[in-house]
Amino acid sequence: MKGNKYKIILLTLILLLVCSVPAYALSMSYKSKITNLGSYPGGYSYTSGSGYDYYVINNYLFEDGVVVDPGTDNDPSWAQAEVGANSPSGTQYWLIRGEHYANLNGTYTYKTSSASGQS
Q: What is the pLDDT of residue 8?
A: 74
Q: What is the pLDDT of residue 20?
A: 56
Classify 60 as helix, strand or coil: strand
Q: What is the pLDDT of residue 56?
A: 95
Nearest CA to 95 out of 66, 116, 68 is that of 116
- CATH number of the CATH domain containing 77: 2.60.40.740
Is 48 contained in some domain? yes
The model's pTM:
0.76
Q: What is the pLDDT of residue 105?
A: 92
Residue span of the structural domain in which 113 resides: 28-118
Q: What is the pLDDT of residue 9?
A: 73
Q: What is the pLDDT of residue 119?
A: 84
CB neighbour list of residue 2: distance below 8 Å, 6 or more residues apart: none
Nearest CA to 65 out of 6, 116, 113 is that of 116
Q: What is the pLDDT of residue 24?
A: 59
For the chain, the domain total comes to 1
Is 34 contained in some domain? yes
**Inter-residue contact 116 to 96 (CB < 8 Å):** yes
Tell me: the pLDDT tens digits for 89-119?
888 899 999 999 999 999 999 999 999 999 8
Is 23 contained in some domain? no
Is 108 contained in some domain? yes
Intervals of the chain under pLDDT 70: 1-3, 13, 15-24
